[in-house]
Structure 1
Amino acid sequence: MWHTHRTRADLLADGLSGRQITAAVKAGELIRARRDRYLPADAPDEVVRAVRVGGRLTCLSLLRLHEVFVLTNSRLHVQLAPRMSRMRSPHDRSHRLNLAKLHGTRLHWLAPREDAGAATCASVVVALAHAVLCQAPRAAIASIDSAVNKGLIQTEDVATIFDILPAKYEVLRSLVDGRAQSGPETLVRLMLLGLGCTVDLQVEFDGVGFVDIVANGWLVVECDSRQHHADWDQRVKDYTRDLRLAQRGFAVLRLTAKDIMERPDEVLSALRGLVATRGRHSSRSRAIAAKGRSVRSQSRS
């Protein structure tokens, strides 16, 4: 498994000879990431490069491997042990890492006191703490929501994330809600909260099914991705759902994940316009209790 590296002593203890180790490296069956650090051939490139630097994969790089929502990332994120000094280029183990020219590498030193051992990756909890430092607040919350929803961390782990971080980030903790089914859904939820709306997630309606968000008891917001809404049959189902909701007096705003992530100002403007038109204290505020029910308990730490 690529989650731990092996040393030459480990391989010799496994019964390999020095010649066999050399032959396995030449044949591509083993990867020598750096001096005395060996990985299996199936190790992801990001992991190999992090070990080559002298640390462990973390932050946005690791979260993407776990398919946790990350808004954007173009760097290799590496966690280093305190006082680590023999760092190498992620591209060539024979060259020292130039701290003045990191070339797309982000080094992380913030971490709880723990024995790194032979691990090639930080824990998801530590990676999320690093991700809070590397993202805007809304994107960071979306990453934590995603990890909770996928079951990679438990709600009690959220407290540990913020214990690792400087105290100024504690204000974000109460905004975490693991009911969100996608990162874009979290981003929209936070926009609506910023507009002063009441927000319910994953609300079920008879004859309709679950909707992503209901704001102020009358505005249904669906956050659609190409993966789940590309074919015509699915679109027809979506239109039928919207029709049934409109018959019950709900306004429906269907947003694409691309617009939410790449055109957030326009999305926010649309939400603000709808909320202002209908009014925060709409007479439809009782609709959630009468016609829908939230079936997932709120995941807050």
Structure 2
Amino acid sequence: MAANARSLSRAELRNAGWGRHAISKAVATGVLVRARRNHYLPGDAPVSILRAVRVGGQLTCLSLLQLAGVFVLRNSRLHVRAAHTMSRLRSPHDRWRRLEHRSVRGVHVHWEVLIDPCPHEATCVSVVDALAAAARCQPPRATVATFDSALHLGFVDEQDLDDIFASLPVRYRALRPLIDGRAESGAETLLRLILRSLRCKVELQVVIDGVGRVDLLVDGWLIIECDSEEFHSGWHYQERDRLRDLASAERGYTVLRPTARLIFTEPERVRAAVHGLLSARRRLR
């Protein structure tokens, strides 16, 4: 993973057998990149890491989590963690230009004390510290979805989560019981949180005979599948989904398929649709 990367100083390169001319040639040909004074990275280093090192710190928070494949609802900034002793921060695009972090758009500099300290030559903080930072940078529901994703993907375990919440202000601890690593997508987590206000029973990743595994089962009869363009686009996949819906209907289930985009952008409409179905069912009893 990218978090294992580190920058190398000129002295370290020389000790590894790189001569002065070899270093210059490697920089000229793109084999190495000089991110900032005395900090060299491989030429194929991810752009976000290169820019974080150029600023003068390590990649962190939402930027690191995005790079690792952890779900992030939205992020358009470069998140960099800098030591309190670091005073010469630079632009992520130009190592010769000073960064005025309070006014530069697109860069968020973090100064938090790390849970899992890393050496100064590290290019990334740990995922544990990235998650702790992300909790401060996102709305609560997005934070739960990010934590669910990190747990599901195996980047952290339950003890790591306990350590993270122990490091955060008390107001964040109400989110700890909401985290569930069974969620396979951010949309699934956000939908689960939407449903909490409807006073219904919600089960995750339920296997139904003749249908297969479904994302959520509400009150034992309403199947909700969180469709994403990545896994449900194309006629073949749509027909497969419709066959599953027919199999569900044969067994007495109702199926609702909101897209991930609708869950992200119009959560109230999705909630209203589920509420309408639940209300209609209850009137028939």
Normalised by the length of structure 1, the TM-score is 0.89
Q: How much has 1:19 moved relative to structure 2? A: 2.2
Q: How far apart are the structure 1 equivalents of 2:168 and 2:90? A: 27
Number of positions where the alignment pairs a residue of Structure 1 with one of Structure 2: 282
Q: How much has 1:85 moved relative to structure 2? A: 1.2
Match of 1:265 among 249, 268, 282: 268
Q: Secondary structure of 1:169's match?
A: helix
Q: How much has 1:166 moved relative to structure 2? A: 1.3
CA-based RMSD? 1.7
The answer as to whether partners of 2:194 and 2:267 remain within 8 angstroms in 1 is no
Aligned to 1:29: 31
Q: How much has 1:88 moved relative to structure 2? A: 0.9
Q: Which amino acid aligns with 2:278?
A: V
Q: How far apart are the structure 2 equivalents of 1:90 and 1:254? A: 41
The answer as to whether partners of 1:111 and 1:164 remain within 8 angstroms in 2 is no
Q: Quick check: 1:214 aligned with 2:220?
A: no
Q: How far apart are the structure 1 equivalents of 2:281 and 2:220? A: 11
Q: How far apart are the structure 2 equivalents of 1:83 and 1:194? A: 46
Q: How far apart are the structure 1 equivalents of 2:104 and 2:170? A: 28
Q: Which amino acid aligns with 1:271?
A: V
Aligned to 2:46: 44
Aligned to 1:299: none
Deviations 1:70-115 (A, max 9, x none): 1111100001112321111111111111133222101112233524
Q: Secondary structure of 1:99's match?
A: coil
Q: How far apart are the structure 2 equivalents of 1:215 and 1:157? A: 30
Q: How far apart are the structure 2 equivalents of 1:133 and 1:201? A: 27
Q: Quick check: 1:116 aligned with 2:89?
A: no
Residue correspondence of structure 1 range 186-205 to structure 2 within 5 A:
186-205=189-208
Q: How far apart are the structure 2 equivalents of 1:138 and 1:115? A: 29
Structure 1 residue runs of 5 or longer lacking an equivalent are 284-301
Q: How far apart are the structure 2 equivalents of 1:279 and 1:22? A: 74
Q: How much has 1:192 moved relative to structure 2? A: 0.8
Q: How much has 1:129 moved relative to structure 2? A: 1.2
The answer as to whether partners of 2:152 and 2:182 remain within 8 angstroms in 1 is yes
Match of 1:128 among 131, 135, 140: 131
The answer as to whether partners of 1:112 and 1:164 remain within 8 angstroms in 2 is no
Normalised by the length of structure 2, the TM-score is 0.94
Q: How far apart are the structure 2 equivalents of 1:127 and 1:9? A: 30
Q: Secondary structure of 1:197's match?
A: coil
Q: How far apart are the structure 1 equivalents of 2:169 and 2:282? A: 38
The answer as to whether partners of 2:222 and 2:253 remain within 8 angstroms in 1 is yes
Aligned to 1:56: 58
Q: Quick check: 1:107 aligned with 2:109?
A: yes
Deviations 1:256-301 (A, max 9, x none): 1111112222112212222233249x97xxxxxxxxxxxxxxxxxx
Q: How far apart are the structure 1 equivalents of 2:180 and 2:38? A: 43
The answer as to whether partners of 1:5 and 1:39 remain within 8 angstroms in 2 is yes
Aligned identity (percent) is: 50
Structure 2 residue runs of 5 or longer lacking an equivalent are none
Moved more, 110-119 or 54-63: 110-119
Higher RCO (CA 8 Å, separation ≥ 6 residues):
1
